[in-house]
Amino acid sequence: MNSNNKEITVVAFCCLYCAYAAADLAGSMRLQYPANVRIVRTPCTGRLEVEFFLKAFENGADGVLVAGCEEGSCHFKEGNLVAKRRVNYARKYLQESGLEPERLRMVNVSSAMARQLTDHIKDMVETVRKLGPSPLNKAKRQQQQEIKS
């Protein structure tokens, strides 16, 4: 996922009804966000399991952003609250594993909040950029070089 060692990759899991709609609106409004963000459309952030976040890191993501509906406005009643609990659990797990918990974040936006979503994305990319490439990516690259040798 990350061919350039100096550039980072952020995976953004966006709920269909709010965050993904806000990302679509951002495109219509010609709002820019970094090109190294990969948006993954999900039916609801409540459907995301902790394993999804961990798999994103395992597959080369340097950061993961979970963007759901505003609290109290989830189209599936409490999906975003479930996601919030899972993100907080995963952050603790990442910290215990030696990875910075700041690499995983959850935000809440409505479908009309395109500018706020792009601001959240830019802030997440900047945070991850300051942290640098994920140590998991470095280990993965070393394993690949050892296999080639």
Domain boundaries, the chain: 10-148
Indicate the pLDDT class of residue 135, thresholds 50, 70 and 90.
confident
User: Using one digit for the tens of pLDDT, what is the confidence trace for 51-97?
Assistant: 999 999 999 999 999 999 999 889 898 999 999 999 999 999 999 99
- As beta bridge partners, residue 64 has 11, 104
The C-alpha atoms of residue 64 and residue 55 are separated, in whole angstroms, by 10
Residue 11 clears pLDDT 50, i.e. is over it:
yes
Contacts of 121 (CB under 8 A, 6+ apart): 10, 12, 33, 34, 37, 65
- The CATH number of domain 10-148, selected from 3.90.580, 3.40.50, 2.30.110, 2.40.128: 3.40.50
